């Protein structure tokens, strides 16, 4: 018999709908997704995000979790018995916050089976609302010291050290100021780079006018914008590619390339206007053993500066600085002895990765918060900028030489870190199920 219009089932009330939903299961899934989104927004690699989400899911009572983690999004399906739920999370403006990565790792290490989603959410509330680890003035100083140390490592003198430090501080200040306006990121990078380059040239001109000319001004110009090198994106992207996480790995590498392109375009533009030769390289101003001591101190200061710029806790930052400085001196010594730069970089990255394995457990730190600042000082950012400037300027030979040097050194750093992970972490030495 055909039912009459008045015989239709009544629409359930809001309370009745809630009774039909697996509320506890939904709450558990939400806690897992929130942890993943926080890790992704702090700059963690997709492999670390996925592993942390799976560990959290099992702790709160989810039987199975399948997730795909990209650079700015997470798609996850959780199941428990016959129930399943698919969630999507998106991170609008991912950044780098080593303190939050560290705290989230410690949270996942503290998880035990039987924990409730409320316990996890309370910990996540505290982590999400953590203030910046360091004040603005210290982060500006960190960028200045990191780039000034790079100027010394690029064979600059004390004039270049001072000029680069002042320029990088101004550029980082503009970067942080413009960031508050929520403008396009590539425009932000370009404006910050132009500011730093102009200030560098102005300070160098002041030194010349007062009778203190530096012999390596042109060669040190690119050091003023090395705080813009997307180190976290490059390294985590390379590690993602090593684990065949192509979705996140390719996105991060492309993003890093675009940031380098925006900065390199600024370098070329300023150099062309002021007729500066950015493809010039400098020769060392010191002999041994002073050269090695200078490299060790500059490497320590440079890595420490980048670590503080990434909001890394002090103990972890000091450990990264010690590892990075020692490995970088060894790398430069190998290059001076005739070893090719990529081979020297791979050996140095392997040493950093192995050192981070022994240090990270003692500090309860995520390895990426140690390895990225430590190897970032080995990334040939100056060569990448010179390559871009050479391409635009028509200097094909210099562009090819610098470009291939930059690419192969970055690949070698990724290989060294990957081999260290394979040797020390079981999940890296076997395929992911």
Q: What is the pLDDT of residues 77-94, one digit of tens each?
A: 988 877 888 888 888 777
CA distance 279 to 271: 10
Clarify whether residues 237 and 335 are in a common domain: yes
**Is 433 domain-assigned?**
no
Q: At residue 14, does pLDDT exceed 50?
A: no
pLDDT at res. 167 = 93
Domain range for residue 210? 136-428
Bridge partners of 80?
Answer: 83
Clarify whether residues 289 and 389 are in a common domain: yes
Single residue among 110, 128, 146 that ends a domain in this structure: 128
**Is 106 domain-assigned?**
yes
**Is 195 domain-assigned?**
yes
Read off the CATH number of the domain in which 41 is found: 3.30.1300
Percent of the chain with pLDDT over 70: 89
Can you give 322-359 as a three-state secondary structure string?
HHHHHHHHHHHHHHHCCCCHHHHHHHHHHHHHHHHHHH
**Is 324 domain-assigned?**
yes
- The whole-chain average pLDDT of the chain stands at 83
pLDDT at res. 388 = 77
pLDDT at res. 138 = 92
What pLDDT, in 10s, does the model give residues 330-358? Answer: 998 898 888 998 899 999 999 999 999 99
Task: Look at the pTM and tell me if it is higher than 0.75.
Answer: yes
Helical packing angle, 231-242 and 367-376, nearest 10°: 120
State the Cα torsion 185-189-192-196 to the nearest 10°.
170
Residue 355, number of CB atoms within 10 A of its CB: 21
Q: At residue 262, does pLDDT exceed 70?
A: yes
Single residue among 128, 144, 176 that ends a domain in this structure: 128
pLDDT-based confidence at 4, cuts 50/70/90? very low
pLDDT at res. 10 = 54
What pLDDT, in 10s, does the model give residues 390-406? Answer: 777 777 777 788 788 88
pLDDT-based confidence at 1, cuts 50/70/90? very low
**Is 380 domain-assigned?**
yes
Number of domains forming the structure of the chain: 2
Starting at the edge strand that comes first in sequence, how are the strands of the sheet with 83-90 ordered?
Answer: 64-69, 73-80, 83-90
């Amino acid at each position: 018999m055909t039912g009459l219009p008045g015989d239709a089932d009544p629409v359930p009330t809001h309370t009745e709908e809630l009774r039909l939903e697996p509320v506890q299961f939904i709450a558990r899934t939400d806690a897992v997704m929130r942890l993943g989104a926080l890790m992704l927004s702090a700059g963690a690699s997709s492999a670390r995000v996925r592993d942390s989400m799976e560990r959290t899911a099992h702790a709160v009572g989810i039987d199975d979790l399948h997730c795909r983690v990209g650079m700015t999004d997470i798609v996850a399906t959780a199941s428990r018995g016959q129930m399943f739920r698919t969630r999507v999370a998106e991170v609008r403006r991912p950044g780098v916050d080593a303190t939050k990565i560290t705290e989230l790792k410690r949270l996942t290490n503290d998880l035990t089976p039987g924990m409730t989603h409320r316990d996890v959410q309370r910990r996540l509330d505290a982590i999400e609302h953590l203030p910046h680890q360091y004040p603005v003035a210290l982060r500006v100083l960190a960028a200045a010291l990191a780039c000034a140390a790079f100027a010394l490592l690029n064979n600059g003198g004390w004039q270049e050290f001072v000029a680069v430090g002042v320029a990088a501080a101004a550029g980082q200040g503009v970067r942080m100021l413009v960031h508050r306006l929520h403008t396009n990121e590539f425009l932000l990078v370009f404006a910050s780079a132009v500011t730093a380059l102009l200030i560098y040239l102005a300070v160098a001109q002041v030194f010349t006018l007062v009778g203190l000319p530096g012999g390596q001004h042109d060669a040190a110009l690119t050091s003023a914008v090395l705080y813009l090198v997307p180190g976290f994106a490059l390294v985590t992207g390379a590690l993602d590619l090593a684990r065949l996480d192509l979705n996140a790995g390719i996105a991060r590498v492309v993003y890093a390339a675009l940031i380098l392109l925006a900065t390199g375009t600024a370098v070329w533009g300023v150099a062309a206007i002021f007729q500066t030769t950015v493809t010039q390289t400098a020769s060392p101003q010191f002999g041994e053993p002073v050269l090695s001591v200078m490299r060790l101190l500059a490497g320590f200061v440079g890595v420490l500066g980048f670590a503080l710029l990434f909001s890394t806790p002090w103990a972890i930052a000091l450990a990264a600085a010690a590892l990075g400085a020692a490995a970088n001196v060894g790398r430069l010594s190998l290059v001076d002895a005739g070893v090719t730069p990529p081979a020297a970089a791979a050996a140095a990255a392997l040493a950093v990765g192995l050192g981070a394995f022994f240090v990270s457990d003692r500090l309860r730190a995520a390895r990426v918060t140690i390895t990225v600042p430590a190897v970032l000082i080995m990334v040939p950012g100056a060569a990448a900028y010179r390559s871009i400037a050479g391409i635009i300027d028509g200097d094909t030979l210099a562009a090819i030489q610098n470009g291939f040097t930059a690419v192969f050194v970055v690949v070698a750093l990724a290989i060294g870190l990957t081999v260290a992970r394979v040797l020390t972490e079981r999940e890296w030495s076997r395929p992911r199920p």
